[in-house]
Structure 1
Amino acid sequence: MWTNYAPWLCAAGVLLAAGHAAALEPDALFAKLSGSVWAVRTFDAQERPLRAGSAVVIAPGRLVTNCHVLAKASNFVVKRDNVTYGATLEYPDPGRDLCQIKVANFTAPPVAMAPTGSARVGQRVYAIGNPRGLENTLSEGLLSGLRGGDGEARLLQTTAAIAPGSSGGGLFDSDGRLLGITTFAARDGGNLNFAMPAEFLAELPARAQAQLAARASEPEGAARRRVGVALADPLRAGDALEYVRTDRLTGNRTPVIYRVDRVSGDEVSFNAGSRIEKADGQVVSLTSPVGGLFDSASPPGGWMPKDDVQPGMRWHLDYVTTTGDRLRHELNATVGAEHTATVDGVELTVMRISYEGWIYASAGTGAALTGTPFKVGVSYSPALRRIVKFEATHRRAYASVTNESLELVRIQR
């Protein structure tokens, strides 16, 4: 009885196959896209290396990377294998951490864009970038969340692995179309990796030109006042705090990004909820120590005082941390004199607060009787209600020492 329907079913099958292209196998997808993802290297005025990242070709002679990759750079290049090109910044959109760069005489093929709104939780995705300088690395995962608000997906969450150096790389669907620009990962937070949606790229030139035009029309001195106001403005979804973490024993510098994914009432959520603060900066919860000792050794509520403080004030802290090995800290705090600090070209009045005491390792249900010395110095800005510089030294057993700092360099809006 189905004989008469056979031609129709065959025709329908042909139409179905024509309407939905088969997904690419990972090796075919990599072969198609790897020539369109390049490494980025940045340098200071003395040609010393600063940062490494990734960039995706989106048009002839045009690539997109994250703006934080280019921060503080005097010049930068794009490279792949043994081929290197000088590059220049064309359209910066620091509010979304997306920067378009241009390269002369550049013939690498642009990638195809995924249709706007096509991202769906659960779909297979692939990240291509240069994690830790390992050029053309492919990782596979799922699109595990769409984060943001007001009907706009501000962040794509994925289980596809990324690492420092992946910033500015591509997140692709199984057809090899660009879904997003990989931007940051929550350190020690499991497979919590994030990308900016590719649909933002269409708005990048207009947003960059509007920002430049607004600045050009400002009267002399207004730019400085505007930046100062912007620093103190309340945080919104999509904003980010950009710190630099420095190992003061080796000189190694690592960017640390706290990106706002949600503001709900008087609570601000960073990095997919791994850090939640009150609007006044007090820490509500902390599950991923992306900022090193700044996070892993944090007192309840954070390093900033809950109330107004004055030089000479002292208090005592005795607490167990909520991340890592959950160590007991016993510290004495002292408020020093006010001084000034500069953040993104703006001079701020800050208070120096010193913490000094001991860290006790866990021992069964109690704590070890012998502690190891721990010293912390923070510069706290009352205007921002935020720590703008953190310095810590922890001298552990067997002459092992951790000496690091974390410094706020700018607030991306």
Structure 2
Amino acid sequence: MKPTWMNPARWLCAAGALLVGHAAALEPDALFAKLTGSVWAVRTFDAQERPLRAGSAVVIAPGRLVTTCHVLAKASNFVVKRDNVTYGATLEYPDPGRDLCQIKVANFTATPVALAPAGGARVGQRVYAIGNPRGLENTLSEGLLSGLRGGDGEARLLQTTAVIASGSAGGGLFDSDGRLLGITTFAARDGGNLNFAMPAEFLAELPARAQAQLAARANEPEGAARRRVGVALAEPLRAGDALEYVRTDRLTGNRTPVIYRVDRVQGDEVSFNAGSRIEKTNGQVVSITSPAGGMFDSASPPGGWAPKDEVQPGMRWHLDYVTTTDDRLRHELNASVGAEHATRVDGVDVNVMRISYDGWIYASYGTGASPVGTPLNVAVLYSPELKRIVKFEATYRRAYASVTNETLELVRIQR
């Protein structure tokens, strides 16, 4: 018979049951000293051992850690490290729907953290985030639990003012007693001290959810997996879902992930990244206050790059607008829609139409605009089924002969 500690789900439940009583609050230095050995850095690599991403992970049981699945995305292998100590790790329980992945490490003796009681998170309580922002290992930030976001009767996201930066994803959000409240996931790109974590009570369900997903896939008839993924792509977005794009500078080859995470769905509007992007449920853009996706956002027409209710091959229209972000430049563009064809998104064939935009950008001066324009050429692939742009390409020659040549491509929808 396996010892209890070999079963992560039983271990987590037992830990929660033992910690219902309230412990004395710790000073920040004592809390950090207690927890620092239980939060590790994650480094991922491709098949050629080239670095991909960096994140964080929290020890939740002997030899087991939890991180966010998007940190591990597309990795051929990965390690956990702290200071000059590195361990190879393997994926044990993936739950991409909640962006939580449990990993295991052999001969690993780091101390597991304690869990806060389920449902005990309170808006206004003092919290502490520990992670590895921008490669700075074991960084502590302090703040408040500023909101409980979600839907369907459960808190799907914890909102906090404790700072979370690139590399922090997968770290821990702790209460003042040093108990794990959540796994940090992302921060709003336009600042505003808006940061988010997945509730720690989800960890007890992680093994069962992962095994159920694997069992369901194993029993599917041939071809069903492809159909299932296609349906999942087209499902309505919910709080906690995320659109993962990759932005590529075609002049330098630099690739940067761009995440639009849903924080609220209210009526017919979907809010991304703490309100920095708001869309209608039909994909039309309502507002953009932070251009996370480069020119995809900063040069966006009113309503977005597919502003018509029903886009059809052969359609044409003219646009003359001033952007609401950055320099408020005037754009004058002619749009035309090409024939429908298929492309692939996350391994699934998706029907798209190419919409071409050709025209000019004019710099605004005072109440008027510069009479001298610079050419802009944009091509987007629009999916009527997904009701969104799956690929964006732009070429723009700025003043003084500098050139912008970039793409933004949807690689997956995290659910």
TM-score (norm 1): 0.90
Partner of 1:384: 386
Mapped contact 1:157–1:193 kept (Cα < 8 A): yes
- Would the alpha carbon gap of residues 355 and 119 (structure 1) be closer, same or farther in structure 2, given more than 3 Å must change? same
Note the C-alpha offset of 1:95: 0.5
Residue identity matched to 1:317? L
| Partner residue of 1:358 out of 353, 357, 360 | 360
Note the C-alpha offset of 1:22: 4.2
Is 1:300 the counterpart of 2:321? The answer is: no
Deviation per CA, 1:87-108: give whole Å up to 9, x if none. 1110010110101011111111
The 3-state SS of whatever aligns with 1:373 is strand
Deviation per CA, 1:44-80: give whole Å up to 9, x if none. 1122221111111111111111111111111111111
Matches within 5 A, 1:9-408: 21-408=23-410
Note the C-alpha offset of 1:35: 1.5
Measure, in 1, the Cα distance between the counterparts of 2:362 and 2:37: 51
Note the C-alpha offset of 1:364: 2.4
Note the C-alpha offset of 1:202: 1.0
Unaligned runs of 5+ in 1: 1-18
- Would the alpha carbon gap of residues 215 and 58 (structure 1) be closer, same or farther in structure 2, given more than 3 Å must change? same
Measure, in 1, the Cα distance between the counterparts of 2:319 and 2:159: 37
Mapped contact 1:189–1:274 kept (Cα < 8 A): no
The 3-state SS of whatever aligns with 2:399 is coil
Mapped contact 1:189–1:288 kept (Cα < 8 A): no
The 3-state SS of whatever aligns with 1:160 is coil
Note the C-alpha offset of 1:361: 3.1
Measure, in 2, the Cα distance between the counterparts of 1:356 and 1:81: 52
Mapped contact 2:278–2:286 kept (Cα < 8 A): yes
Measure, in 2, the Cα distance between the counterparts of 1:251 and 1:66: 26
Deviation per CA, 1:250-300: give whole Å up to 9, x if none. 333332222223323322222233322222111122223222221222111
Note the C-alpha offset of 1:135: 1.8
- Would the alpha carbon gap of residues 369 and 255 (structure 1) be closer, same or farther in structure 2, given more than 3 Å must change? same
Residue identity matched to 2:166? P
Note the C-alpha offset of 1:24: 2.3
Measure, in 1, the Cα distance between the counterparts of 2:100 and 2:77: 17
Which deviates more, 204-213 or 78-87? 78-87
The 3-state SS of whatever aligns with 1:398 is helix
Q: Which of 1 and 2 has greater Rg?
A: 1
Deviation per CA, 1:354-411: give whole Å up to 9, x if none. 2222333332233334333332221111121111111223332233333322211111
- Would the alpha carbon gap of residues 32 and 217 (structure 1) be closer, same or farther in structure 2, given more than 3 Å must change? same
Mapped contact 2:305–2:389 kept (Cα < 8 A): yes
- Would the alpha carbon gap of residues 402 and 24 (structure 1) be closer, same or farther in structure 2, given more than 3 Å must change? farther
Measure, in 2, the Cα distance between the counterparts of 1:279 and 1:180: 29
The 3-state SS of whatever aligns with 1:34 is helix
Residue identity matched to 1:138? L
Cα RMSD between the aligned structures? 1.9
Note the C-alpha offset of 1:312: 4.1
Partner of 2:412: 410
Note the C-alpha offset of 1:148: 0.9
Note the C-alpha offset of 1:20: 5.8
Note the C-alpha offset of 1:224: 0.8
- Would the alpha carbon gap of residues 281 and 83 (structure 1) be closer, same or farther in structure 2, given more than 3 Å must change? same
The 3-state SS of whatever aligns with 1:371 is strand
Note the C-alpha offset of 1:145: 1.1
Residue identity matched to 1:293? M
TM-score (norm 2): 0.90
Measure, in 1, the Cα distance between the counterparts of 2:236 and 2:102: 27
Residue identity matched to 1:159? T
Mapped contact 1:63–1:102 kept (Cα < 8 A): yes
Count the aligned residue pairs.
395
Measure, in 2, the Cα distance between the counterparts of 1:371 and 1:137: 47
The 3-state SS of whatever aligns with 2:189 is coil
The 3-state SS of whatever aligns with 2:97 is helix
The 3-state SS of whatever aligns with 1:107 is coil
Measure, in 2, the Cα distance between the counterparts of 1:253 and 1:129: 24
Measure, in 1, the Cα distance between the counterparts of 2:381 and 2:82: 41
Mapped contact 1:163–1:184 kept (Cα < 8 A): yes
Deviation per CA, 1:174-229: give whole Å up to 9, x if none. 22211111111111142111111111111111111111111111111111111111
Residue identity matched to 2:359? G
Mapped contact 2:190–2:276 kept (Cα < 8 A): no
Measure, in 2, the Cα distance between the counterparts of 1:344 and 1:183: 21
Mapped contact 1:156–1:197 kept (Cα < 8 A): yes
Measure, in 1, the Cα distance between the counterparts of 2:136 and 2:256: 17
Which deviates more, 321-330 or 66-75? 321-330
